[in-house]
């Protein structure tokens, strides 16, 4: 009888520690996914999660041992399971709340990650950690052999950790999703508390509260969704999310920005990967895709088919572009996550007949397989283009940036093949790009860089083309992207950037990408804050609260001086609407002064134009004329890049008209009307400029011509407007 009782005791205790340790590991793995939605997935997030969970277990073990010596084990375990259930529910609540705390974005990136993880996961880890020593004490007090009992408890606890790890990693996360798992664990812990000591009334109080909270957090009903979002028991409902899934690798979502046209974003862990307008699939929206296309069109020459490999499928925008423009091409995509491909097909316009061959493997494994097959004599593809699209600013797979990997890429390229890389860094202080360039040039003798024309302190997208032989990348971009504002780096500038690496070469043994990306992530936090202030300013502006809007624009400047030009320009516009002309002029001048301190300087033609109008209104004609001339010079520079731009044709016309040069203004308005004859305001400005130049008959002729045009087009309202203008000019004549 005693033997049977001993066996039953050790069985109950073993199951208890198995279950509690499994819960700890499930929560730990789920933590990585919950955190990724706010902070991405990197060495910092994993280090913080593992460290905090272990710290919680240690504190819990210590606390649990003290509790076991003072209180009845069964009652204590019942209460601890109940508290652990409560703590699991707080994970959902705190993760949603803390993700919105702006003050955290002022911390350095490692500290911010550590703080977020600590606040969300330390308490649940402590409470789950208290269970094992209390359960062990219960077994030892029953008179079982000490050594054997402790050994079995440790073994079952470890087995539970292993089971929880495999269960969460291989099944639960992909099947249930992270939030559902947390609610499930919380319910199971509550049930364990009731099983251990069903007489405790507090368990049933919590059971009622838990049922209510779980309904708000999980029920699909509209009211539950609304209240749950308000209480932060779930993320606020976003009706624009038309597809979402938690795969074994990341959170994937497709967001519909507008229905007409159908404009969509592809998100991975809430980071934008690509966007598309489904009715305009050949209009590439992202800078990196536009650069990929320009480089490919130029270097492909007269080839009708290509052999390409894209590393990282994402929304599959560019692989499909290859399929449409070079039908019949060998168009491979190495995408490790089948869930990403599924999302692209389900909600991002990817067609089954897109001409894309997807390999669901890590790119390194796929390329290793190709080279292994080649060594045994099998025929393997050589690629004209390999596109690297697996990097973001939070996470760069280190195995894809090393010299060893670059050597493998070189081996799968044709003799004139190129490796085109999309990456993110901060030009003036980033550490990743210098080290990566220095690593690339160990393999590829020719490197070419192009980026968006933005302040050097901003996070920017950089497109690096690595080649075995010289290629004219800049010419390709000029020919195929005449309207994109970009910056091309010559060989000297590229060498200067690479030299900042201090000779660091990224290898399989040493590739500290997270450390090198720290400036990028820090800048990302700064940009998040400026975006929040910009949004607040816009909201106040819409509400007519101009003073508060100005305050938020000032906070933008305090957060990041690089946005001073934008913020000061907006402040000037707001002061103009408030009728404060002196402050309007002061704000525009502040924007111009700020531009002198930012590298590279921006084209401030719009600011000069606004300042000229303000100076003109304040009775300063000489200063106003000077600003109009500066505005005209700036607009002419932009027009030279895109001679058919209606926007800059009209701005030049407005500038000349404002300074009183109506004949010159009419030249630009006339060109704009030729580009878009359906635009009524453009016609009116042309007619008015000719009229103000004193050429009444010419203005009358233009008005009659516009009247005839709109009548023929069936635009009666526009025709009536022109008829009224004709009658007015005839009277004036």
Residue 34 has pLDDT above 80, yes or no: yes
pLDDT digits (tens, 9 = 90+) for 431-447: 999 999 999 999 999 99
Residues 37-64 have a mean pLDDT of: 88
Residue 547 has pLDDT above 70, yes or no: yes
Whole-angstrom CA distances from 67 to 62, 79, 131, 140 are: 9, 11, 10, 15
Note the pLDDT of residue 3. 53
Helices (H), 382-505: 403-411, 432-440, 473-480, 491-499
Residue 316 has pLDDT above 90, yes or no: yes
Asked if 33 contacts 175 with a C-beta cutoff of 8 angstroms, the reply is no
Asked if 123 contacts 101 with a C-beta cutoff of 8 angstroms, the reply is no
Residue 5 has pLDDT above 70, yes or no: no
Note the pLDDT of residue 1. 41
Residues 467-487 have a mean pLDDT of: 85
Top-confidence residue, 482 or 392:
392
DSSP 227-268: HHHHTTSSPPP-TTEEEEEE-SS-EEEEEEEETTTTEEEEEE
Adjacency order of strands within the sheet including 241-246: 241-246, 251-258, 263-268, 271-277
Bridge partners for 330 per DSSP: 307
Domains of the chain in start order, with CATH, are 2-230 (1.20.1250), 251-516 (3.40.50.150), 517-602 (1.25.40.10), 630-733 (1.25.40.10)
Asked if 442 contacts 399 with a C-beta cutoff of 8 angstroms, the reply is no
> pLDDT grade, residue 4 (50/70/90)?
low
Residue 53 has pLDDT above 80, yes or no: yes
Please give the backbone phi and psi of residue 450, each rounded to the nearest 5 degrees, phi first. Answer: -135, 145
Q: How far, in Å, CA of 575 to CA of 554, rounded? A: 13
Residues 6-25 have a mean pLDDT of: 88
Handedness of CA 322, 327, 331, 336 (dihedral sign): positive
Summary mean pLDDT of the chain: 90
Note the pLDDT of residue 6. 62
Please give the backbone phi and psi of residue 145, each rounded to the nearest 5 degrees, phi first. Answer: -60, 135
Residues 507-521 have a mean pLDDT of: 89
Q: How far, in Å, CA of 102 to CA of 293, rounded? A: 38
Note the pLDDT of residue 483. 67
Residue 412 has pLDDT above 90, yes or no: yes
C-alpha angle 667/671/675, rounded to 5°?
170
Note the pLDDT of residue 376. 93
Residue 10 has pLDDT above 90, yes or no: no
Note the pLDDT of residue 572. 95
Length of the chain: 733
Top-confidence residue, 41 or 351:
351
Q: Which residues contact 443 (CB under 8 A, 6 or more apart)?
A: 403, 406, 407, 409, 410, 466
Q: How far, in Å, CA of 39 to CA of 99, rounded? A: 9
Q: Which residues contact 176 (CB under 8 A, 6 or more apart)?
A: 184
Helices (H), 544-604: 546-559, 564-577, 581-597
Asked if 534 contacts 560 with a C-beta cutoff of 8 angstroms, the reply is no
Q: Is 582 exposed, middle or buried (0-12, 13-18, 19+ CB in 10 A)?
A: exposed
Helix H or strand E encompassing 461: strand 459-467
pLDDT digits (tens, 9 = 90+) for 17-29: 999 999 999 999 9
Asked if 637 contacts 490 with a C-beta cutoff of 8 angstroms, the reply is no
Residues 197-202 have a mean pLDDT of: 88
- Dmax of the chain from CA atoms? 121
> pLDDT grade, residue 619 (50/70/90)?
very high
CA 396 distance to own-chain centroid: 14
Residue 714 has pLDDT above 80, yes or no: yes
pLDDT digits (tens, 9 = 90+) for 139-186: 887 777 788 888 888 999 999 999 999 999 888 887 888 889 999 999
Of all residues in the chain, what percent carry a pLDDT higher than 70? Answer: 98
Note the pLDDT of residue 482. 58
Residues 66-92 have a mean pLDDT of: 93
Across the chain, how many H-helices and E-strands are there? 30, 12
Residue 108 has pLDDT above 90, yes or no: no
Q: How far, in Å, CA of 474 to CA of 269, rounded? A: 34
Residue 9 has pLDDT above 80, yes or no: no
Q: How far, in Å, CA of 346 to CA of 341, rounded? A: 9
* SS3 (DSSP) at 25: helix
How many CB atoms lie under 10 A from the CB of residue 394?
Answer: 21
Of all residues in the chain, what percent carry a pLDDT higher than 90? Answer: 65
Note the pLDDT of residue 492. 87
Note the pLDDT of residue 289. 94
Asked if 240 contacts 256 with a C-beta cutoff of 8 angstroms, the reply is yes
């Amino acid at each position: 009888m005693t033997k049977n009782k001993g066996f039953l005791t050790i069985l109950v205790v073993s199951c208890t520690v198995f279950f509690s340790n499994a819960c700890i590991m499930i929560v730990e793995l789920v933590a990585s996914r919950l955190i990724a939605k706010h902070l991405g997935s990197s060495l910092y997030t994993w280090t913080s999660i593992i460290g905090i969970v272990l710290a919680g277990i240690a504190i819990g073990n210590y606390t649990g041992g003290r509790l076991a010596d003072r209180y009845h084990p069964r009652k204590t375990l019942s209460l601890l399971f109940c508290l652990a259930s409560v703590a699991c529910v707080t994970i959902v609540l705190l993760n949603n709340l803390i993700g919105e705390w702006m003050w955290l974005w002022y911390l350095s990136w490692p500290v911010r990650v550590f703080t977020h993880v600590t606040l969300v996961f330390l308490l649940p880890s402590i409470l789950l950690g208290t269970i094992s020593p209390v359960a062990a004490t219960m077994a030892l007090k029953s008179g079982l052999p000490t050594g054997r009992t402790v050994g079995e408890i440790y073994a079952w606890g470890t087995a539970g950790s292993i089971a929880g790890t495999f269960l969460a990693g291989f099944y639960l996360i992909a099947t249930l999703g992270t939030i559902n798992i947390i609610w499930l664990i919380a319910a199971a812990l509550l049930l364990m508390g009731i099983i251990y000591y069903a007489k405790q009334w507090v368990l049933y109080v919590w059971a009622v509260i838990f049922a209510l909270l779980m309904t708000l957090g999980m029920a699909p009903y509209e009211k539950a969704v609304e209240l749950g979002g308000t209480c932060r028991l779930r993320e606020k409902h976003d009706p624009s999310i038309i597809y979402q899934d938690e795969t074994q690798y990341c959170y994937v979502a497709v967001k519909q920005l507008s229905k007409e046209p159908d404009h969509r974003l592809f998100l991975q862990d809430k980071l934008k990967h690509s966007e598309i307008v489904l009715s305009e699939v050949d209009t590439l929206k992202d800078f990196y895709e536009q650069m990929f296309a320009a480089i490919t069109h130029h270097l492909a020459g007269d080839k009708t088919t290509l052999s390409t490999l894209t590393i990282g499928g994402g929304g599959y925008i560019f692989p499909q572009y290859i399929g449409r423009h070079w039908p019949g091409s060998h168009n491979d995509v190495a995408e490790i996550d089948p869930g990403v491909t599924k999302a692209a097909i389900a909600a991002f316009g990817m067609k089954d007949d897109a001409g894309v061959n997807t390999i669901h493997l890590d790119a390194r494994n796929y390329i290793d397989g190709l080279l292994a097959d080649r060594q045994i004599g099998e025929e393997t593809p050589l690629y004209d283009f390999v596109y690297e699209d697996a990097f973001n600013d939070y996470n760069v797979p280190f195995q894809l940036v090393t010299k060893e990997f670059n050597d493998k890429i070189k081996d799968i390229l044709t003799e004139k093949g190129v490796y085109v890389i999309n990456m993110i860094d901060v030009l003036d202080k980033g550490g990743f790009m210098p080290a990566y360039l220095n690593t690339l040039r160990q393999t590829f003798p020719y490197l070419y860089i192009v980026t968006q024309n933005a302040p050097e302190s901003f996070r920017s997208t950089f497109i690096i083309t690595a080649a075995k032989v010289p290629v004219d990348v800049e010419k390709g971009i000029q020919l195929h992207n005449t309207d994109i504002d970009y910056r091309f780096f010559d060989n000297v500038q590229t060498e200067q950037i690479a030299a900042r690496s201090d000779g660091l070469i990224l290898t399989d043994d040493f590739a500290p990408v997270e450390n090198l990306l720290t400036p990028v992530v820090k800048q990302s936090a700064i940009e998040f804050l400026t975006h929040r202030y910009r949004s607040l300013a816009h909201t106040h502006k819409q509400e007519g609260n101009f003073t508060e809007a100005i305050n938020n624009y000032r906070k933008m400047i305090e957060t990041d001086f690089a946005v001073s030009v934008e913020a000061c320009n907006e402040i000037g516009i707001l002061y103009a609407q408030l009728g404060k002309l002196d402050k309007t002029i002061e704000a525009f001048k502040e924007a111009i002064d700020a531009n002198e301190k930012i590298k590279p300087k921006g084209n401030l033609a719009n600011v000069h134009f606004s300042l000229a109008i303000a100076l003109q209104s304040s009775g300063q004609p000489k200063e106003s004329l000077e600003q109009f001339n500066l505005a005209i010079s700036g607009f002419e520079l932009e027009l030279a890049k895109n001679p058919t731009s209606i926007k800059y044709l009209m701005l030049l016309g407005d500038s000349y008209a404002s300074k009183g040069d109506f004949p010159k203004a009419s030249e630009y308005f006339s060109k704009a009307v030729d580009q878009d004859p359906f635009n009524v305001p453009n016609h009116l400005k042309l007619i008015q400029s000719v009229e103000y130049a004193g050429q009444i008959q010419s203005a009358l002729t233009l008005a009659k011509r516009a009247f005839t045009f709109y009548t023929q087009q069936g635009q009666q309202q526009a025709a009536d407007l022109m008829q009224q203008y004709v009658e007015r000019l005839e009277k004036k004549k």
